[in-house]
Amino acid sequence: MLWRLIKTKVQDYVARWRARGAPQQQRYRRDTDAGRRVAPDRAERLLLEYLTPEQRRTYWNYGWFVVRAPSGRRYSIWNKDARYCNVCELNSNGQAISRLCAHAAIHVPMADHLLTQKLMLEHHEVEFRHIANRT
């Protein structure tokens, strides 16, 4: 008899606790989904803030921009559907001489991916070239 009373009390407590937590979980899920929808737009705005006016112009018009590394090498970074091999090392004539593939290990919006590559090439070119696959 005592165990039935305790069991009933615990079940009532759990039911009230779940009922109180359910709207919070739904709100969290709704807020998270909304955040995922706006993340690419926020990432794009952040990328555009970091691009020079010339880089911004070529990015808007053609979907790529050129980065000059401290070594003097130039790289073009392409915004394409796939995240792989979107960095091209350029020769003095602006022609691609090799493709480099290095990307974030986690899922991030494409604009964040491009910004990461840009910053790596501008500030840590040696490390970028060391970890990148070359084709």
For residue 21, pLDDT over 80 is answered with no
Distance CA 121, CA 18 (A): 50
Digit-coded pLDDT (tens) for 76-93: 999 876 667 889 999 999
Among the listed residues 82, 46, 41, 88, the one whose alpha carbon sits nearest the alpha carbon of residue 64? 88
Strand order in the sheet with 96-101: 64-68, 74-78, 87-90, 96-101, 133-134
Q: How many other C-beta atoms can be found within 10 angstroms of the C-beta atom of residue 30?
A: 10
Q: Which residues pair with 74 in a beta bridge?
A: 68, 90
Mean pLDDT, the chain, whole residue set: 83
- Percent of the chain clearing pLDDT 90 (strictly above): 50
- Determine the 3-state secondary structure of 75 from DSSP: strand
Digit-coded pLDDT (tens) for 56-77: 999 999 999 999 999 999 999 9
For residue 23, pLDDT over 90 is answered with no
Domain-by-domain residue ranges, the chain?
A: 43-134
Q: What is residue 114's predicted lDDT score, i.e. its pLDDT?
A: 92
User: Rounded mean pLDDT of 18-41?
Assistant: 65
Distance CA 103, CA 19 (A): 43
Q: How many other C-beta atoms can be found within 10 angstroms of the C-beta atom of residue 75?
A: 23
- pTM greater than 0.85: no
Q: What is residue 31's predicted lDDT score, i.e. its pLDDT?
A: 56
Q: What is residue 4's predicted lDDT score, i.e. its pLDDT?
A: 63
